[in-house]
Each structure stands twice: as structure tokens, then as C-alpha cells.
Structure 1
């Protein structure tokens, strides 16, 4: 059952909000609070572990609603929230959050699905025809589609993924009709961005965003259903082992953005070639320290290693999108 804001204690709400703003901003806020309040919020912050994204977004959305009700502040709340979040998180990190808060609340139709909680979208579309689900997931961002796909029954995942890979665009009129269907489901009507949805690249992007175990199981099932199409999807996927093929300049650029603890965790599940590639693109001292960290690190959960690798791959794709690095032929085709 999805949490409501009433299910989250006030201390925890404050703790989540402060931790989402970063250390410096949180410290500035705490300076203006009384000792008892700081103690209570500090204790709540210390007890927080692995806060789900939807819980964090619920708290931030509530903060925005409260802020908007404070008309005596004498400021445009949209501009205020935008400036605060950019100042606290930086342009890149704040971007998607700003979109969700300031744009998402007014979105309708298919576009509104991008701003809904993942489980809610899955419940909304799970009983639709697989072709409808395929079009919807093709329209959404790959990471959101991957999360939704994880919530669907396994046999439906395969059917939907094959349909996504086989899509060769959709007529604007048909997309508009689907948008109107979604509108009637939860009241709204969105602006359609494009009719070019689906295809092998979209399927590869979505699978890339899934956790390792689910990804592998889905690929095996796809092979059983359509070996040729499955191979085309796999050819366009960019996985952690493919980092061994990235050129040295791109690898060095990527490593500048990766936190050491995440790199250590990711490398615990990497093959020898990838490890050697990464170490070769670090200074001698940095490579020695990384090697020592790897040797000293204890056992790690496969899911944690997989998550760290996905973070690095997501960062690599972002840098590739921005033209900062090259990921090689297969990945460039996918992007």
C-alpha cells in the first residue's frame, strides 16, 4: 500500500527534506532551528536508511504544496522552488525534480504518466492489451519503463518487450486516440511529443535499466520466443563489461565523475578486462589505492554490486548524450 504524507512523521519529513538538499544547505537550515528541534530532526536523519524515491518525492511535493499556500511570503513560489533546488542540488540533479514538481502537476494524458508513481502506472496499464502497454512504455523514459516492467507478470513482460522491439512508429492519430484513452482513465489531455515510438533501440534501453537478474531472465525468455529479434536487442545493449571497449580519453572522463566507493562496489562484479582497463586509466597512486580498497572490501550483495554498475552505466550514457565521451559503435547506435 502506497504511503500518504500523513503516514510519515513530521520529524522524518524534515529529515528527508534536509538530506535531499545536501550538507551545506541542511546545515544552514539547522542553524535557524532551536536545540530541541535540531536534536529531534538530527535523530531522525541518523535513523534514515535507503529512503525510497517515491517517499522522498512525496515529502518534497508536500513541501511545495505548503509553500504555495504561504501567500504572505510575497514571492512567486515556482521561481522560489526552482532557485532553491538549483542552488542546493545543482542544475543537473535539480532538473528532473523541478520538472516533476513544477511541470508534472499540470501534465495530462500520456504525458501525465511520466509524473505518476511507478506502481500506480503499472496498476493502470496492467490489464490493457499488450500492444497498448508496449506503446505506453515506449513513450515513457527508459528507466521508468524498466521499473514498470519489473512490476508486470513475467509472461506479460516478454510479450510486451517483443512488441516494443517490433514497433516501427505509430500514426499520430492512433497516438492521439491512446492519449485520450489515458485521459479518460484519470482525467486529462496531454500534448503529444512525437509518433516515433518503440523499436529495437527502445527495447534495449529499457532492458539496460532493469536489475541484473531480471534483465538476464528476460533476455533468455526473449531468445526462446524470437532468437533473431532478441539478438538484435542484445547487440544494442551496453552493459558494464562493454566499458572495456571505451577509448582511454572517454574512460578517464567518466572516472572523474564516479565516486570511489561506488567504483569499488561495481568492480567487485566486473571481469578482469574491465578492471585492467579502469586501472590503466588512473594515476599510479590512484590505481594502487583502488586495488587496496578492492582487496580490503568485504563481501557484497549481488543486488548492491548490480546497482553500482547501473549507476556508472547511467552516468556513462549521460556523458555520451552530452557529447563528452564515446561509448563505441553499438552504444552510439543505441543512443
Structure 2
């Protein structure tokens, strides 16, 4: 019988689950033919597949033959292969349990790297610092001690100064970390940080484009949106609804403005308020002490005339800071376009 000849599905096949079929196929392929596949698996996947192989027991020859014919037939019938997240998910579906499939897909959609520490070294220092600043300093010290020195340095620079100095001191006197502690930290990073990061990377493209428009100067933003109104009015309206502008900060509670003032560079605040409406200026001044507000007004007066573009750039910096603080759960941004909706 030719290897490619179709054969009927043996009745014994029904008692083998998806993972067991994959394990049986890898066992049949053997060391030499299966090696390229094993090399592509993660440590956890190797453990899972190996465990299934070890518990397979006897496999009827008819089942083995069917799996090999099915495998070779599917490969030979393909004109070409296209690897993607979607094709990977389809491939693993039915081979691994649904909850494990979800975990694998969230992991591979995240930053690249064989280990958790490799993956963290490929995460933006600003994103990683935003997460770490809410952790215990000792935990932050352990995590940074496992990263590349250059990346750890950039993350430290992004952390609040008091926290970064505390972390450095802990790193200097840190004893060797027990294996079970490292495993617990890795599991927490995987379940909380990496899974949230991978979900964020699959967000609505209109949200990403709204951030792009937020970073544009006002004239370019309006020109682009006006043109988009003609070509794709639904997309333009969706982007407008997702954008959060400097003027929208005027809808925030004074407590939220106070957090922004505390975190922001004072010169950036002065430059941003230089071109702001009086109501928004008063909102910002109202969160400061009388002395700080006077100093801020003096700084604004001492600037003299400034370019509108410079004011807009400073305002965009404050908007991005507000969004970072909202993402970290430190403030809540109220969407002025809806009485109920929140941008968090």
C-alpha cells in the first residue's frame, strides 16, 4: 500500500484524545524525524507531550498507520505554508486542551524569548516600569537582577527616584534567591503581566490609531480626520470617540489632576498651561499650594511668547502621562463623550 493511499479511520482511533494522537505521532516519527518538531516546542510543551507519551501504553498498528498517512497526506497536499498566530491556534486546537491552548497563545503573542527573563528584556522599559512601580521593592530587585544590565538600567531610570534607589540598595545586598521564590515570581509575571500585555496587543486598531492622532499637532490631526471623514466616515467617528485630548483633562476630578501635577515635569506643565483655556488653568492651579501656583504663574510669565507647537507638544506629554496613570490604576479618566463610560 502506498503511504499516500487513503485508508479508513480505524475504530480504535476514537479512544485516543487529541494530545494522545499527537504523542503517538511523535513516538512513531522517532528521534531523527521528530527532532525538528521537538526543537520548536517550549519546555512546558515538551513536558506535557513527554508525559502523554509515557502514559500511552500499547498503540494499535492501524492507529499508527492512520496518523502517519493523515500527517503526510496533509503536508503533501499543501501548495505552500503560511505561519501566523491564527494558523498556529488552528494547528494546536484539538491537540492540546483548550485552557492550555489559550495559555500558549497568550504567551507566544507576547514578547519573544525562550525564558520569562528573555521575554521581559524585550518589553518596553516604560511599560515594564509602569507595572513594577506597584510591586514590592524586593520583588522589583529580584526581577531586575535577572534582566540584561542595559535593560535593567533603562527600567530603573523610568521608576520613581525613591523607588529606584531603594531597589538598587536591595540589589546590592541581595542574597541568592531561592528557586521556589523565582518560580513564584515567574508564575505571577506570566499570569498577571504577560497575559495582560498579550491581550493589549490584540486591541482594537482604532484605539491604536486614536493614540497616533493624539500625538499629532492640531492642524495635522484635523486635516487627516477631515480627509478620513470623506473616505471612511465610520472610522473617523470611531477614532474621534476614542481620542482623549488635553481639553478633556478639564473633566477630571481635582484629585486626578493633583496626581498628574505631582508626577509631571513642572516646566512641561507651565508650557502646556501657557496655551490652555483659563478654566483649565484654574483647575490645575487649584490643586497646587498657593506658593506653588504663584511660582507656576511666574514661570509662565517669564517664558514670554512661545510657539503654539511647543505648547501642543507639552499638552500631549501631559495627556500621555494621564493615560499611563490611568492604566496603572492611579487615576480614572472620565470620557466626556459619555456620562457612564470610563477610559481606564
Give the alignment's TM-score, normalised by structure 1: 0.42
Larger Rg computed on CA atoms: 2
Larger helix percent: 1
